[in-house]
Amino acid sequence: MAQRVVTLFIDDITGDEGEDIATHTFSLDGVSYEIDLGQDTYQQLLDSLGPYFRAGRKVGTSRRTKAVRLAAGEGPDPVKVREWARSQGLDVNARGRVPAELVEKYRAAH
């Protein structure tokens, strides 16, 4: 018997489905959260938190933090990195964090 597995990418806020939905992480008061958001909803999150990011102090970095910062607009657009990686025959997840190694390859190629 054959089975077909279908993965749906759904925005946790709007309920919209799409290939551009990605998992984003953030923390507050020592509690880490994950949320799946499309590009528009993610931009709304960044716009809402922007004043707090600008007023806050960074307290160190980790590999995980670096990946989140890249997704937050301080590095190349994750969608473009994924498209480039696929065009180069590289494996990349359709959602979630883009590995820092892949971002470095993208930067080197551009």
Q: What is the pLDDT of residues 37-55, one digit of tens each?
A: 999 999 999 999 999 988 9
Q: How many domains does the chain have?
A: 1
Give per-residue pLDDT as tens, 63-102: 554 554 555 556 788 888 888 988 988 888 887 888 888 8
In a domain, 12, yes or no: no
In a domain, 1, yes or no: no
In a domain, 43, yes or no: yes
CB 22 within 8 Å of CB 96: yes
The pTM is what? 0.51
Domain residues for 51? 22-109
In a domain, 90, yes or no: yes
Residue reference for tokens 């909803």: 41
In a domain, 6, yes or no: no
Residue 88 bridge partners (DSSP): none
Structure tokens at 91: 């494996």
In a domain, 80, yes or no: yes
Structure tokens at 46: 């960044």
Structure tokens at 12: 């946790």
In a domain, 9, yes or no: no
